[in-house]
Chain A
Amino acid sequence: LSSDFLFVGILLIFSILLPVAGLGFAWVIRPKKPNPIKQSTYECGIETIGEAWVQFKAQYYIYALVFVIFDVEAVFLLPWAVAYDRLPLFALVEAFIFIFILVLALVYAWRKGALRWS
């Protein structure tokens, strides 16, 4: 397994080199004339009022939670899918039960209005 990742490691080194080389080259040849107005936040030409680092709306967290449910489910189902043709018929029933429970979660979230954008 470690030799499988050898190529990924080499590619990672080269792909880090690409932005480093690109940004480094641009750093050498580009003009540098900073001034405070230029470096202010881009917004209608006037100073931004208040911080931009505010709290996220809670709605996004609810979507993220529903996402986690399904992503973890997929992680459990992938080994099942790989070994599927070697599994007995009962594996299908098990998967149906597993997905049924998840669909219940989705239906619950739906009914609760968690999936409604407000």
Chain B
Amino acid sequence: MEAIITWLSAIIPGMPPATARLIVYALYSAALAFMAPVALVVGYTYMERKVLARIQDRIGPNMAGPLGLLQGFADAVKMLTKEDVTPTNADRTIFNIAPALATIAVLLVFAVLPVAPGVIGSDLPMGVIYVIAVGGFGELAVLMAGWASNNKFALLSAFRVVAQLIAYEIPMVLTILTVTLVAGSMKMGDIVAAQDVPFIVTLPVAFLIFFLASIAEIGRSPFDLLEAESEIVAGFHVEYSGMKFAFFFIGEYMHLFVAAGVAATLFLGGWRGPGASPDTILGVVLGFIYFSIKTNILVFVMMWVRGTLFRIRIDHLLDLNWKFLVPVSLLTMLAVALVLKLPVLGSPILQWGGLLLANIIVAAVSLAAVVFAARRSQSAALRGVAGVDS
């Protein structure tokens, strides 16, 4: 980005660097805001339907275009020409703002996502907090939609947002804290630079917790209680139709990419890989390819999980968070902090080993605790004793 700005102000005589910066920023923003949604939504809806179809032993979309590749465009045209129905009882202003907010909140996260070496909108000093904070607007959009619809199904969904989405933010923030501890910075760029060994190797427990919390945050199966079809029809977007529904859909599929992208940046080394560097064009392209591969692997895993697991109950969902993920992520963070201050681990390799060992110990301890708690509650249930809180 910086290189393009200098280049642009050099080739056009009389252009001040500030103007060049503005132009480059505007072009990159326009690309993110107008091209990314189309590409990601069309691509991921097709991919998701094909992947789920394979898992369920079906063919999936195959009529629109070769191999059904034009299915996404057909859907887009259908959405555009659908009649928009706003219920008379709804709170119109909030009802109309909510789908737009759902999309805007996700788009804004792209600003701090390093998609290729040197290609990052703005490497904010508080990058990871920005991701969490802007992500919070998406939750607000769901709550607004559920509340403004004045529909009981939508309202139940809005209740669940309060319980689920905010709850899973805690383990997410705590694992980000762990990453920040090791990287020594909240900048996304610095976190990528710190990963000579990707954090998934040194902090596997933190990665698993972060990934789980990400799936819950974007409200995908098995955590899709917000829109549990069999219980509350479609949840918060039951009253939405046409393009307004489409914007929730766009928001959801971009969120899928963004969540996987943030996970890839924080734990899989982002754009790093052999040959990737911000200095040459080839290096930048390679970096973008590595980033895309890592992100799409995570997206695929999310689809795989969706096709494999069933929806979990809300009390199990909350128990999993408060009684398992939060304590384990706290424990991981403390263990990592302890390892980083150990004076014997002078060399980086020893430190990586120490971090990995600490993670394995944390995993073993927490799994043992779960098994112990499960056995205790099981034997209590067998004896008919009530009140044991697992």
A interface residues, Cβ below 8 angstroms from B: 1, 4-8, 10-20, 22-23, 25-27, 29-34, 36, 38-43, 48, 51-54, 56-57, 59-60, 63-64, 66-67, 70-71, 74, 77-78, 81-82, 84-85, 89, 92, 95-96, 99, 102-103, 106, 110, 113, 115-117
Contact = CB atoms under 8 A, between A and B. Distances in A.
A95 B159 CA distance: 34
How many B residues touch the partner, as a band?
35 or more
A13 B242 CA distance: 24
Binding site of B, secondary structure by majority: helix, strand, loop or mixed?
helix
Given A39-B88, A60-B163, A78 B129 contact: yes
21 contacts: A7-B121, A17-B33, A19-B99, A26-B81, A26-B82, A30-B81, A39-B88, A40-B87, A41-B149, A43-B151, A53-B155, A56-B162, A63-B167, A64-B166, A67-B166, A78-B177, A78-B186, A81-B181, A84-B337, A96-B334, A113-B389
Given A26-B81, A70-B174, A106-B327, 14 more contacts: A1-B125, A7-B28, A7-B122, A11-B32, A15-B33, A19-B100, A23-B243, A41-B239, A43-B151, A53-B155, A54-B155, A84-B184, A116-B389, A117-B319
B101 to A, nearest CB: 8
B80 interface: yes
A20 B100 contact: yes
Given A71-B170, A110-B323, A113-B389, A82 B185 contact: yes
Given A48-B152, A67-B170, A110-B389, A18 B37 contact: yes
A66 B83 CA distance: 43
A34 B83 CA distance: 9
A41 B247 contact: no
Contact of B33 (A14, A66, A99): A14
B100 A81 contact: no
